[in-house]
Structure 1
Amino acid sequence: MPDHQWLLFMTRYNAWQNDLMRQALEALPPKVVSSDRGAFFGSMLGTVNHILWADQMWMSRFAGWPKPECGLDQSPELTRSVGAWSAERSRLDGHLSDWAAGVDHVALSGELRWVSGATGAQMSRPMSLCVAHMFNHQAHHRGQVHSMVTGAGAKGWLSDLAFLPELST
């Protein structure tokens, strides 16, 4: 399961990927980014908003951060533009990096208990599993956005973990 070094790596990878995704979205006309493309969360903007919402929700559970002001069903409308999303995403990625720097093995080895909005049930899972899920969830939906970007005729971005720039020497 994830350890502290893995967590630090994943926060750096996550921020890098979000920045590349931001660049791809900013290169597209706003109408293209916000048009329904048949994805689970509708548009590119709806999908990146959902990722942001889910990260906020998980971090409220992991670290007591404020919960998002809307529920899952409204997550695609969390922000109204790529610019607004980008500002929130950048802020959250910075806080996520700070949080990860302070997490120790004991915190990752414990249990996380919460009431799931998706199931309505009390949940209890290993913290490390939930943290791994948060990053997996991000990658899953970023892949959907990548597909929508290329489907709109634009160039996608490099997404392989092995090509994180800091690994190049």
Structure 2
Amino acid sequence: MIGAEYCRTMAAYNAWQNKQLVDALGGLPPGELGRDRGAFFGSIFATINHLLWADGVWVARFDGGERPAGSIADSLRLTGHLSDWLPARDAMDQRIKRWAAKLSDHDLEGDLTWYSGSIGREITRTKALCVVQIFNHQAHHRGQIHAMLTASGDEGYVTDLPFMPDGD
């Protein structure tokens, strides 16, 4: 299905996208970050918090490290301010890149079993499918964020994978 090189590419893509997102967030007029825009999680800030939380949950399943506390509902308030979110996001991106850098294709074989709080039961899926999930989930919610940013008057930013700069 996928290999270690896919994971390294997507980890770099994730970090690149989040760097661009940080620049866009910094240019928002006051009040826009927390404004309810009718999106799935309401605001840009709630959505970036959820994405940070979910990345932490998934990468903890992969690297055995610490996972964030709480549920999906709690994820919307993972950090209280952008100044708290920024270093947490950077640390998460670096954690994902470190995890991906150590992977071999063999590490993606077999199954992963975990307890899902969102559906209240244990689940087993292939490791490869779960890894695709983390990157797909990121793209999904960043797409929502991008739409909310452009609706707020931001120009948006490049999201196409082929245009990722070399070395990211």
Tell me if TM exceeds 0.5.
yes
| Cα shift at 1:154 | 1.2
| Structure 1 segments of 4+ aligned residues over 3 angstroms from their partners | none
**Secondary structure of 1:36 counterpart:** coil
Q: Say if 2:111 and 2:127, in contact at 8 Å, map to a contact too.
A: yes
Q: Where do residues 15-26 of structure 1 align in structure 2 (5 Å cutoff)?
A: 15-26=15-26
**Secondary structure of 1:34 counterpart:** coil
Q: Distance in 1 between matches of 2:134 and 2:67?
A: 15
Q: Which amino acid aligns with 2:151?
A: G
Q: What residue in structure 2 maps to residue 38 of structure 1? A: 38
Q: Which amino acid aligns with 2:72?
A: L
| Cα shift at 1:85 | 1.1
Q: Say if 1:26 and 1:82, in contact at 8 Å, map to a contact too.
A: no
Q: What residue in structure 1 maps to residue 103 of structure 2? A: 103
Q: Distance in 1 between matches of 2:100 and 2:76?
A: 26
Deviations 1:102-155 (A, max 9, x none): 111221012100011111111000001000011000000000000000001111
Q: Where do residues 125-140 of structure 1 align in structure 2 (5 Å cutoff)?
A: 125-140=125-140
Tell me the matched-pair count. Answer: 167
Deviations 1:16-70 (A, max 9, x none): 0011011101110341011111111111010011010000000121111212122
Deviations 1:55-88 (A, max 9, x none): 0000121111212122111111111222211110
Unaligned stretches of 5+ residues in structure 1: none
**Secondary structure of 1:50 counterpart:** helix
**Secondary structure of 2:140 counterpart:** helix
Structure with bigger helix share is: 1
Q: Say if 1:33 and 1:43, in contact at 8 Å, map to a contact too.
A: yes
Q: Which amino acid aligns with 1:134?
A: I
CA gap of 1:129–1:30, structure 2 versus 1, over 3 A, is: farther
Q: Distance in 2 between matches of 1:157 and 1:66?
A: 32
Q: Which amino acid aligns with 2:76?
A: P
Q: Over aligned residue pairs, what C-alpha RMSD do you find? A: 1.1
Unaligned stretches of 5+ residues in structure 2: none
Q: Distance in 1 between matches of 2:30 and 2:113?
A: 39
Q: Which amino acid aligns with 1:82?
A: L
TM-score, normalization by structure 1: 0.95
